[in-house]
Structure 1
Amino acid sequence: MSARIALMGSGETAPSMVKVHRALLDSLGDKPRAVLIDTTYGFQENADELTEKAQDFFAESLVTSLGVATLRRAKDATALEVTRFRRELEAANYIFAGPGSPSYALGNLHQVGAGKILQDQLSRDATLCFASAAAVTTGRWSIPVYEIYKVGADPEWQDGLDLLSVFGIEAAVVPHFDNHEGATHDTRFCYIGDRRLRMLEARLPDGVPIIGIDEHTCVTIDDDGNVEVLGKGVLTIRRDGVAKEFPSGSVLTVESLGLSNRAPTRQSPVSDGTDSRLERFRTALVAFDAERAMQELAAAVSGDQRDDALTMIGELDAVLTDGFVDRRALLNPLVELIIELRASARSSKDFATSDRIRDGVAACGIIFEDSADGTTWRFASSD
C-alpha cells in the first residue's frame, strides 16, 4: 500500500464515482476503515441529512460502513469531543470529506490541528478522498468561495491544510473547474469566474500551479509520484495564467506535470521497538484490563503528557459508551428471572402484580416488550 489522495471536482456520491471509490477502497486490502469528516457542512441545517446520505451511499453502493469524525463547530466542542474527533481520524485509513464551505471547514479544522493529523495519516499509507469544498482545503492556498462569490469579499487566499505537501506539491486546488451553473455569468473555477481567478493568481508566488479539476472528475496522487485522471472531465494545470489540460484516462507523474516544487513532507512512522504509554493503554482496553488502563492514564496525567491524556480519556469514554462492561450480559440472568415472575403473575391473572413488576423495572431504565413469542427486554436509553 502507499499514501494516496483523491481529489474530486464534484459528484462524490454520484453513480459516476462508484467505480473510483471502489478502486480506492480495494487498494487498502480487506480491512478498509472509512470515516467521514462532517466539518465542511457542519453549519448547515441539513447536516444530519448530508451525513446520512453519505453513509447510505457507502453502505448501498460500496458495501462499506462509513463512520463519522464529527466536528461541526470547534469553539463549542469540549476537549472530550475534540479527542473523539481526532481518534476517529487516527483510526481510519480511508478519510472522506465533501461539500460545504472551504473557509468554514478550515476555520474549524485549523483550531484542532487536523492538518497535522491528516498528514500523519497519509504517512501511514491512508487514502484521503476530498471532494468539492473539501478538495479546496487540501492545497497550500485555499479559495474562500462563499465569501468571494456570495458575500463580495475581495479575492484573497486562505491558508489551506497543505496536505499535498506530503507529495512534494505546493499548489492551490480548484474543483468545479468547468462549472456553468451561472448561465448568464461566469461560474467556472469553483464559482468565482475567470476575472477573480486571475486576481487570485496574481497573489500567488511565481510559478505556483493551480490544480483545476472538472466536475464528476477525480485526480489521484500517490507517494510514488503517480497521477491519474478518472471520471468524465479533465485535469487542468494552470500556471501564471497558462493552462494545460489532461483528459480522463491520463496516467502522468508529479514530475512531468511540474508539480514537484518542494521536498515531500511524508515521514515514515518510527518505532524504537517499545510500546508507548498510549499503546499500552490501548492494549489494556482491548484486554478489558481496567486497572492497567487507569494506571497508564494516571501516569500520563502526572507526567504532564496532556495530548496522550486527552486521547486516553476520549478512548476510555468510547469503550464505556460501547460497553467496556457488557451491561446486558451482566443483568440478563436477573432480568430473565423477573420476566418469569411477571409471566407467572399474568398467567394467574394477577395483573396488578404484573404491572408493578413492569413499572418497577421501567423505573430502573429497563423496558419490557410483549409479543406473541413472549417478552423481551431492552435498555430505555436505546430509544
Structure 2
Amino acid sequence: MLASAAACTAGVATVPVYEIYKVGAAPHWRPGLDLLGVLGLRVAVVPHYDNTEGGTHDTRYCYLGERRLARMEPDLPPGAAVLGIDEHTALVVDLNTEEALAAGRGRVTIRRPGSQAVLPAGTSTNLEEIRRLARGETTVSGTALPVISPAPHQVSLGEATRSCEERFAAALTGYDAADAVRAVLDLEAEVARWGADTEEDEGGVEHARESLRLLIAKLGARAGTPSPGDLVASLVESVLVLRGELRRQGRYDVADALRAALLRGGVLVADTPDGPCWTSTGSDRPPLSGLLTPGH
C-alpha cells in the first residue's frame, strides 16, 4: 500500500512536487523506483490527479497543472505513460490473480500524449488490460473503455499576448476600430487571468501588461485619424464638385476627362436624376460609394 507521497516514486519516473510547485524549479522528472516495473507497468504515477486546491490556478496532476504536465510528457522515458490517481481513490491490484479495481470516489486515468483512458470508480479489470492501455491500446477485453482527450492545450501567456498584438495590428491596418478594441480587451482579460496564477509563464505578466499599455497608447494615437475611405470620399466629392461646375460652363470635354481620370483611379461615376453618384472599384477593401446631392 502506497500513500500519495510514496506513490509518486513507484513508477519509472517521479514528480519532484516540492521542487517544482513550492520552489519554482523548471518542470522535470526524476528517476522513480520503478516498483511497478515488475508488474509490466511502464508508468509514472501521478497522485492528487484531480486536485482543486489552487483556486485561481491549476493544481491538477499533483499540483503540476495542465501546462506543466503537457510540457513534461515528451520527457517521459520511452514508452511510458502517466497513471493518474484521483484523490480518495486507489488502484487496487491483487498480485495473485492480477485483478485490478478502481476503488474510492474518483477515477484512475491512463494518459498518453494525445489521449487518455479513464476508469471510473468501481471499474474492474486486470493488469494485462492496464498494460495494454499504458501502451496506447483503447479496448479492454474487446469492450471500449471511456476514452477522452486530455484537457485542451492551454495557450501560454506569451502566445496569447502575441495573438492579441497581431489581431490589433491587423485591425489598425484594416481601420477596424471595433476589432482593435476587442483585441485590447481580450489581452486585458488574459493579463487579469494570469495575474491570479502563481505559475511563471513565458514572457511573464509584466511583459503582457507592458504590451497592453502599448496597444492602448496606439489606439489612442489612432483615434480621430481619418480612414483611407474618408480621405477618398472627400477627394472624390471635391473633384465631382469641380466636374459639375465644368459641365455647367459647357466644358464637357474637360468634365469627361475628369470622369475618365477618376475611372482610371478606381472610381466609377454615374450621372443620375438625383445627381452624380460614384463607387470605388478594383480594391480589396469593401467598395466605397457616395451620392453628390444638388447643392454640393
Alignment TM class, shorter chain as reference: 0.3 to 0.5
Higher CA-based Rg: 2
TM-score normalised over the length of structure 1: 0.33
TM-score w.r.t. the length of structure 2 is 0.43
Q: RCO greater where, 1 or 2, for CA within 8 Å and sep 6 or more? A: 1
